[in-house]
Structure 1
């Protein structure tokens, strides 16, 4: 006897089922791929590749689609199954992404790297490659990271303040041209009214967040949550006491940092030190 097909008539193979749902939901919405890209902030070709099975995208993309279509965690769950490891996408990070999308303001301290919201594609690829990603996984992660930059665009984008340790700006990419583009991107970002950049110089001495990158999210209900991260793990913190303690450390770091105007000049000096390509 042949195997019974599902009542829905849809594939039970995870990757194919994911593709089918993507196509069905877009058809029901009546959107073109180009419109989907414009609304969600990713290049429209990514959605075409996902619907044709060339890539499954990333968890960030799946979650954004769930929010757009009103399908709760359907696509995110199917993405996890298609990726082959339902445990790899941790619940706390899933919740963090949902909160980040809702935040009315964000403030960040980077101890060793530029935050993903301000990374160029070249910087993101180099950073993720150094972390061990490669092949299709690397492509998915880079696409997701660049797509998240759309959070700071639009008519009413959230305010974003970032403090970068001088170590971030003293750790160039191996490719000088890619590093130049990243520094230029940071300088361009400082001209946007919703983005504030500070540099914490080495001369500031020791400080309370010397081994911790942290992001604070101010939510519509006036709550603040924090997300701390190191090379091996990230942790979402929602309890008021620990968040307040981290905020105190962050405020102390901000007091030590250069002003936005001086920070812009600092980044420009770093840009001037990047060696030029002799062929240009």
Structure 2
């Protein structure tokens, strides 16, 4: 096997996601395979493989495992992917991310935007872009990292996830009407899973115990519960049992005020119906 070339990266230490992309490109080039040839070996679309090698996406765990098998690299690429996923988030969120990955039950309340576990690619990109100025490569890395977290809802033993969405969350449009419609359709598809429940809190409820507090409650395999509260600029991990219990009670009371899951789905369906379709482009 040819000797490994140093990762190019940018100035300073290269990111884990860039290392993952360049390592895939190196392994394929050493074997002289085209994307289509590699696609036939791993049974994943060649355009998807190209996006992985150019850093547009981290790729799913399944395709990375398939690449490790085809290249005979053991868990090498899979380990790089895990590093890439973790390093894409700021240090202060690392503790939360570690616990989220382990959680067996999650209960969430959204004040102003969807939780990352339910976001589409377009939604995540619009939201992250609005928060700060990004270099394009850095923005796409953050989008890919955020979407990769959704694996906990589809793994062999998925997390049981419930979210209460403030009505304003769903009424806030995306830059593209088409993307907004796709987002609402995505939510309707997601709740087909028995492990996902969405409820909507009508704005007519007024103030309540979690007003202005985006909240996540998590139960871990050992039975311990923790909480995480967040604003657009900071987040706080809460592990004191008394404080967690206070938030849990506030959440339970809030759930009593929300529309039922069927009523919530009917609201989303009506909202989707009310959004105008994108007019066809003139030829």
Contact 2:190–2:196 under 8 Å retained in 1: yes
Given the superposition, is the C-alpha separation of residues 220 and 269 from structure 1 closer, same or farther in structure 2, using an over 3 Å criterion?
same
- 1:238 and 1:197 mapped to 2: Cα distance? 25
2:121 corresponds to which residue? 121
Given the superposition, is the C-alpha separation of residues 187 and 10 from structure 1 closer, same or farther in structure 2, using an over 3 Å criterion?
closer
Taking the TM superposition and a 5 Å limit, the aligned residue runs for 1:49-198 are: 49=54, 75=83, 89-90=90-91, 92-134=92-134, 135-198=136-199
Contact 1:10–1:20 under 8 Å retained in 2: no
User: How far 1:174 sits from its partner (Å)?
Assistant: 2.7
State the TM-score, normalizing by the size of structure 2. 0.73
Size of the aligned set, in residue pairs, is 246
Q: How far does the alpha carbon of each residue in 1:44-70 deviate from its partner, in whole angstroms, 9 at most, with x for none?
A: 5565335xxxx796xxx9xx99xx769
User: How far 1:205 sits from its partner (Å)?
Assistant: 2.1
2:72 corresponds to which residue? none
2:70 corresponds to which residue? none
Contact 2:227–2:239 under 8 Å retained in 1: yes
- 1:107 and 1:142 mapped to 2: Cα distance? 23
Q: How far does the alpha carbon of each residue in 1:69-91 deviate from its partner, in whole angstroms, 9 at most, with x for none?
A: 6979x947x958xxxxxxx832x
Given the superposition, is the C-alpha separation of residues 149 and 46 from structure 1 closer, same or farther in structure 2, using an over 3 Å criterion?
farther
Q: How far does the alpha carbon of each residue in 1:86-132 deviate from its partner, in whole angstroms, 9 at most, with x for none?
A: xx832x41111111111111111000011111111111111111112
Contact 1:198–1:260 under 8 Å retained in 2: yes
Contact 1:37–1:47 under 8 Å retained in 2: no
Contact 1:158–1:194 under 8 Å retained in 2: yes
Please identify runs of 4+ aligned residues in structure 1 that moved more than 2 A.
9-14, 16-24, 33-38, 43-50, 68-72
Given the superposition, is the C-alpha separation of residues 132 and 22 from structure 1 closer, same or farther in structure 2, using an over 3 Å criterion?
same
* 145-154 or 227-236, which deviates more: 145-154
Given the superposition, is the C-alpha separation of residues 190 and 20 from structure 1 closer, same or farther in structure 2, using an over 3 Å criterion?
closer
- 2:188 and 2:51 mapped to 1: Cα distance? 28
Does residue 48 of the first structure (1) align with residue 53 of the second (2)?
yes
Taking the TM superposition and a 5 Å limit, the aligned residue runs for 1:236-247 are: 236-247=237-248
Contact 1:214–1:228 under 8 Å retained in 2: yes
Given the superposition, is the C-alpha separation of residues 11 and 107 from structure 1 closer, same or farther in structure 2, using an over 3 Å criterion?
same
User: How far 1:155 sits from its partner (Å)?
Assistant: 2.6
Does residue 215 of the first structure (1) align with residue 220 of the second (2)?
no
- 2:209 and 2:146 mapped to 1: Cα distance? 28
User: How far 1:156 sits from its partner (Å)?
Assistant: 1.9
SS for the counterpart of 2:113 is: coil
1:250 corresponds to which residue? 251
Q: How far does the alpha carbon of each residue in 1:130-188 deviate from its partner, in whole angstroms, 9 at most, with x for none?
A: 11243111111111112222221133211100100011112111311110000111111
Given the superposition, is the C-alpha separation of residues 56 and 173 from structure 1 closer, same or farther in structure 2, using an over 3 Å criterion?
closer
For structure 2, the 5+ residue unaligned runs are: 28-37, 66-74
- 1:100 and 1:110 mapped to 2: Cα distance? 16
